[in-house]
Structure 1
């Protein structure tokens, strides 16, 4: 049977320290987008400040729990999947966000729209592109 390249949520062979650093960088990007300090985020996520600072230290070995990630996602208003570098291109670039953090919430909103609205937006985008070529 041929091996399938899933490019999904599998992190086999990924260095744990590197993965932690990618996760921390993404959380930091959302903090910047939301104008939040570590202290404010820890308070709102109901995570102890000392524990949060330790987990955000790229050199230490403290790990975020699944519960921590859900709390952070709720406070930052993002899906916890957006914390992880799930595609190969993400991993090649060290987990850096492919787009600015401000675009990610917009993408989440658009992806949750009904199909009719997505089709309407696509039609509008095609019309705009068509008219830009004419001018």
Structure 2
């Protein structure tokens, strides 16, 4: 199995305000990808517009709850985990938009493979990416 640079706990040593700012930045990135305003996000997530404006305001102290994040992820058709701020490794990779949650079944099937099968898939992926360069 290939060694992945996970960098340990990504947010170790960061203040709550820094993590909050990174979370807001991530949500704003995803909103921009969908061409959504805060009002659109609130409507699609079924959350009060004033709440979204307050909780996504960098100068405010409002905090997104787990239920807020679940509603936002569902509205965007992504996993809640994909709302979390990007890791350093993901930032280097370009911060591409996440896969849709509706594609997660494909990932489940891939992850159920044996270590040997995953190694073959990994080597094929490396070859495909090498040809793009």
- From 110, 114, 132, give the equivalent of 2:109: 114
**Normalising by structure 2, what TM-score?**
0.68
RMSD over aligned Cα atoms:
3.8
Contact 1:26 1:97 in 2 (8 A): no
Aligned to 1:71: 71
Gaps of 5+ in 1: none
Q: Which residue of 1 aligns with 2:124?
A: 123
Matches within 5 A, 1:1-135: 7-8=8-9, 11-85=11-85, 87=87, 89=88, 98-101=94-97, 104-105=98-99, 109=103, 112=107, 114-115=109-110, 123=124, 126=127, 129=130
Q: Which runs of 5+ in 2 are unaligned?
A: 1-5
SS at match of 2:41: helix
- Number of residue equivalences: 120
Cα distance, 1:54 vs structure 2: 0.3
In the TM superposition, what is the alpha-carbon distance from 1:71 to its structure 2 partner?
A: 0.4
Distance in 2 between the 1:127 and 1:51 partners?
Answer: 44
Alpha-carbon separation, structure 2, partners of 1:128 and 1:60: 42
For residues 122 and 20 of structure 1, do their structure 2 counterparts lie closer, same or farther at Cα, with a shift above 3 Å needed?
same
* 2:36 aligned counterpart, secondary structure: coil
C-alpha distance in structure 2 between counterparts of 1:113 and 1:46, whole Å: 28
CA distance in 2, matches of 1:59, 1:77: 28
Aligned to 2:3: none
Instruction: Provide the C-alpha distance between the structure 2 equivalents of 1:23 and 1:61, rounded to a whole number of angstroms.
Output: 13
Q: Which has the larger radius of gyration?
A: 1
SS at match of 2:99: helix
